[in-house]
Amino acid sequence: MKIIKLIFILFFSLAIPSFAQEKNLLIEDFENPVCGGENGTVDFGSGSGSSVEVTADTNIKNSGAQSLKITFDAVSGGYMWIAKGFGLDAKNTAWLVTPEAITWEKYSSISFYAYGSNSKTRIAFDIKDNGNEMWRFIITDDFTGWKQIVCLFNEFFARGDWQPQTADANAVLDFPIKSFQFEPLAEAKSVIYIDTVELTNK
């Protein structure tokens, strides 16, 4: 009996950590103080008449002590971006893990929590691949409160409206992904909160 008990203990002590590894991988929780510019913790900006303000919010959050609050006015012909990851202009935008340290083939999707207000705003969620190619997934704020948005990698499409000059433009989503960004699409003036960006297997 003692041996059986020992086997059980061994099994669970080994099985639980390996099971936990197969679960979601938290890559960004927006827990740093938010600042922009060259030394920013978030790389954000806007142009052609659109405007955006990015702050941390400690009242509305899904995990940790705060979320990312995006207050925006997206006008026709304007643009904006709110980005985190690697290879961006701002210097302190790193995720919690580096892209190279992630076993990407273990995950089929990238997900985040959005706090909606049923504003009907369409929000683009872009990922930049290893060849600097930008891939897009569009969500609609048609919910209230926190909602997990799961974006399957195979449902992203290569952006046709804009690509970085350095993009490989090979129409292949090349891993590792280096950064992600949000862009509320015109015309819309509202607020959205983002938290808990994870790699998931759904």
CB of 4 vs Ca ion, minimal distance in Å: 43
C-alpha span between 103 and 20 (Å, rounded): 15
Q: Cβ-count burial of 128 within 10 angstroms (0-12 exposed, 13-18 middle, 19+ buried)?
A: buried
Query: Which is nearer to Ca ion, 73 or 133 (by Cβ)?
Result: 133
Q: Which position among 37, 64, 77, 145 is part of the footprint of Ca ion (CB under 5 A)?
A: 64
Is residue 29 a contact point for Ca ion (CB under 5 A)? yes
9: enclosing H helix or E strand: helix 2-22
Among residues 113, 96, 99, the alpha carbon closest in space to that of 57 is found at 113
Type of residue found at 184: P
Query: With CB under 5 A as the contact rule, which of the stretches 6-14, 36-44, 63-71, 177-185 interacts with Ca ion?
Result: 63-71
Q: Per CB under 5 A, which of residues 96..155 are in contact with Ca ion?
A: 129, 131, 133
145: Cα within 13 Å, side-chain hemisphere: 0
Among residues 85, 121, 70, the alpha carbon closest in space to that of 199 is found at 85
In the complex, residue closest to Ca ion by CB? 64
C-alpha span between 23 and 53 (Å, rounded): 33
Is residue 53 a contact point for Ca ion (CB under 5 A)? no
Query: Which is nearer to Ca ion, 53 or 168 (by Cβ)?
Result: 168
Is residue 77 a contact point for Ca ion (CB under 5 A)? no
CB of 89 vs Ca ion, minimal distance in Å: 21
80: Cα within 13 Å, side-chain hemisphere: 27
Query: Which is nearer to Ca ion, 101 or 171 (by Cβ)?
Result: 171
CB of 49 vs Ca ion, minimal distance in Å: 31
CB of 196 vs Ca ion, minimal distance in Å: 6
Q: Which position among 174, 176, 189, 200 is part of the footprint of Ca ion (CB under 5 A)?
A: 174
C-alpha span between 55 and 71 (Å, rounded): 8
- Where does this chain bind Ca ion (CB under 5 A)? 29-30, 63-64, 129, 131, 133, 168, 170, 172, 174, 195
